[in-house]
A = this chain, B = another copy of it.
Amino acid sequence: MADSELPTRPKPEEAPAAGGEGETKNASKKAAKKAAKEKAKAEKAAARAAQEKAQAAAQEANDTAKGLYGPLPESEDVISSTRFSQLSEDSQGKEITVVARVDNARVQSAKLAFLMLRQQGQKIQAVIAAAEPISRQMIKYTGGLNVNSIVQITGIVKKPEIPISSATIQNLELHIRKVYMISEAAQMLPMQVKDAERPPPETNEEGEVDAEGAPIVTLKTRLDNRVLDLQTETSQAITWISSGVAELFAEYMIKSGSRWIFTPKLVGAATEGGSNVFEVKYFKRNGYLAQSPQLYKQMCIAGDMENVFEIAPVFRAEDSNTHRHLTEFAGLDFEKTFENHYHEVLEFAENLLVFILSQLKERYASQIATIQKSYPKAGDFKLPKDGKALRLNYMDGVALLKEAGVDMSEQERFENDFTTAMEKQLGQIIREKYDTDFYVLDKFPMAVRPFYTKADPKDSRFSNSYDFFMRGEEIMSGAQRIHNIEELEASMRSKGLDPTQEGFEDYLNAFRQGCPPHAGGGLGLNRIVMFFLGLPNVRLASLFPRDPQRLRP
């Protein structure tokens, strides 16, 4: 027997050394006893290991299922697997191969085990029963699979005796013939995907289990373990909606003849309000992260690009720890010249939103239904019946609130804009009165808009600017922009900005060489997803959310 196959006995010189000033003979005796005990233990363990090995070999030799389970065999064979979504009543009786996660594994008896298999949140039951060539060993292996492991399973599709209520596909199950491991999950996971299938508690209270004794997974735990959380049916559906919003935005813009632009996120000066900007070490000087593509998309318009859009991250160093603020979010921006009136662009934007929201309902109906199971509270998102956006003026909003008993003083109206609470209430009023969750407010007071906003030529207290709302929360801000250099510089000064400040030079030069009248807007993708679906937190609508506290994963 080679040395390396057995625990080596300690060599004499390695045995606990006797003597040493403070030690008694007793200690030495104890050490000797201990060594003897360990020796006996090691020999016993060795014997046991040898026995197990022999048993395993014997079992393997006897194993009628040898080669039908275990590590994925190396093979040049090309396997074509079936998606759960392809299964139908017609699949009954057919042998198929699927690649899926183990959502749950359970040994019923030595002769029977069950798996719940999961594919992008969809679940189907698989069953394995002892019957030539399926062996007890194979059943033990299958029932003992670590949860979340990815396996390749071949089996026969059958109809279960009673529908599997815990599965997505309830009227079919898979009778296993082969089980191979593709990627094994660790035995202990920080959370279970099936526990995360239930929505997080609305308050972030920590609790071990809910009223029914099922573990509660808080938003924090989900986000800390976002890769697991993304595997839930709900997260899968939400990420599809996010993808859909970007796709529909790009589709509409491209169809309109708009040019896709990529403006720099690294900028030389903090021109849009210094306090909320992230500072970057740019070689030997300071740079900043763009808080929006505002100045650059206007420069593209001044560069005769006429109709442009951008899809890119937007960075806000705002220390806001709310349910709807992120420090990095996906911005959907557009800017466009017009011929006669900025309402041409406003209408373009209204149609954009109606397109996105109505097409989401059309193309992602099943995902929306899935999400509503977890977040039913907000209900279906209501769009205007005639397919035209509802447009009111800011002062109409003021009047509607007044009717409802919420009065604003003259100063509040012109200097403060609505509070978030007023916006939400206005959303309720409009939903009741006009039966829509999407609407536009036009003509905001000049005092509450940024310096590049064009004043209303007929009443300079107001501006040619608009906000878009979904369920009473703002998802877009936009306006006609000042295109005349003198007017622009005067507006800057009236807002306390210095046109000669470093960083404005390139922007202002864009107007000195002539610039066409234009308007535009900027949307937050994550907020559209959040409010469309009625999610309680914008972090659920971001893959890996960033806020003042969170910079990982």
Contacts and interface: CB of A to CB of B under 8 A. Distances in A.
22 contacts: A99-B516, A119-B304, A148-B514, A149-B514, A150-B516, A183-B515, A189-B512, A226-B303, A227-B510, A239-B259, A239-B261, A242-B262, A261-B543, A263-B543, A263-B544, A265-B315, A267-B552, A268-B551, A278-B280, A278-B282, A279-B280, A299-B544
A333 to B, nearest CB: 13
Given A148-B514, A312-B313, A227 B553 contact: no
Interface string A232-252: 000110011011001100100
Say how many copies of this protein the assembly contains: 2
A460 interface: no
A120 B304 CA distance: 6
A264 B304 contact: no
B183 A266 contact: no
Interface of A: 74, 78-81, 99, 101, 119-121, 148-150, 182-186, 189-190, 225-231, 235-236, 239-240, 242-243, 246-247, 250, 254, 259-269, 278-283, 285, 287, 289, 296, 299-300, 302-306, 311-313, 315, 317, 319, 327-328, 330, 339-340, 457, 483-484, 503, 506-507, 509-517, 525, 542-544, 546, 548, 551-553
A280 B290 CA distance: 13
B328 A266 contact: yes
A551 B339 CA distance: 34
A175 to B, nearest CB: 22
Contacts of A302: 227
Nearest to A188: B512
B517 A182 contact: yes
Given A242-B261, A262-B330, A285-B551, 13 more contacts: A74-B457, A101-B514, A121-B304, A148-B514, A185-B512, A186-B512, A262-B542, A264-B544, A266-B278, A278-B281, A278-B282, A312-B312, A313-B313
A260 B280 contact: no
A235 B299 CA distance: 14
A552 B510 CA distance: 13
Given A79-B339, A263-B543, A544-B264, A120 B514 contact: no
A510 B243 CA distance: 22
A476 to B, nearest CB: 18
B306 A546 contact: no
B516 A182 contact: yes
Contacts of A296: 543-544
A230 B339 contact: no
A271 to B, nearest CB: 11
Contacts of A260: 242-243, 246-247
Contacts of A280: 278-281, 289
A506 B553 CA distance: 6
A226 B515 CA distance: 14
A96 to B, nearest CB: 14
Most central of A189, A305, A517 by chain B CB within 10 Å: A305
Nearest to A302: B227
B330 A546 contact: no
A327 B120 CA distance: 37
A544 B78 CA distance: 48
B182 A340 contact: no
Given A265-B265, A311-B311, A512-B185, A548 B283 contact: yes
Most central of A264, A282, A542 by chain B CB within 10 Å: A264
Contacts of A300: 230, 543
B264 A328 contact: yes
A515 to B, nearest CB: 5
Given A101-B514, A289-B280, A268 B552 contact: yes
B278 A259 contact: no
A270 to B, nearest CB: 12
Contacts of A517: 182-183
A21 to B, nearest CB: 38
Contacts of A267: 551-552
Nearest to A295: B553
A513 B306 contact: no
A101 B507 CA distance: 19
B183 A150 contact: no
A69 to B, nearest CB: 17
Nearest to A506: B553
Contacts of A268: 551-552
Contacts of A239: 259, 261, 305
A282 B551 contact: yes
Contacts of A313: 262, 264-265, 312-313
